[in-house]
């Protein structure tokens, strides 16, 4: 069963420059919530940003990883207000 650290490491290794914060949403090891910040997201729609992250896990989404809830952002969009 993947841990939040596994998920974080795999996202950061697969998407150049990505920073991920991952939590185990239910404590059960199969529902995760991730906030991913990456310059690779720039110029891409939300759908494309989420697809990039989902692609890291392929068929595991819906399988071993029942749910991966995502919030994606580009470094420039980190709120400064």
Partner 1 sequence: MPTSQSNPIRDAISEAIEQHRVILFMKGTPEAPACGFSARTVAALQALDTPFAAVDVLPDPRIRQELSAISNWPTIPQLFAKGELIGGCDIVTEMYESGELAQALL
Sites of contact with partner 1 (CB under 8 A)? 46-47, 50-51, 54, 61-62, 67-71
Distance of alpha carbon 73 from alpha carbon 81, whole angstroms: 16
CB count in 10 Å sphere of residue 62: 11
Q: How far apart are the first and last CA of the chain?
A: 39
Q: Least distance to partner 1 from the beta carbon of 13, Å? A: 20
Q: Which is nearer to partner 1, 15 or 70 (CB)?
A: 70
CB of 16 to partner 1, least distance (A): 21
Cβ proximity to partner 1: between 39 and 46 the closer is 46
* 28 secondary structure, DSSP code: S
């Amino acid at each position: 069963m993947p841990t939040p650290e596994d998920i974080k490491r795999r996202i950061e290794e697969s998407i150049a420059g990505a920073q991920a914060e991952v939590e185990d949403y239910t404590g059960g090891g199969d529902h995760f919530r991730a906030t991913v910040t990456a310059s690779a997201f720039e110029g891409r729609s939300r759908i494309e940003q989420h697809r990039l992250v989902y692609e890291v896990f392929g068929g595991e989404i819906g399988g071993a990883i029942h749910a991966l809830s995502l919030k994606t952002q580009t470094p420039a969009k980190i709120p400064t207000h």
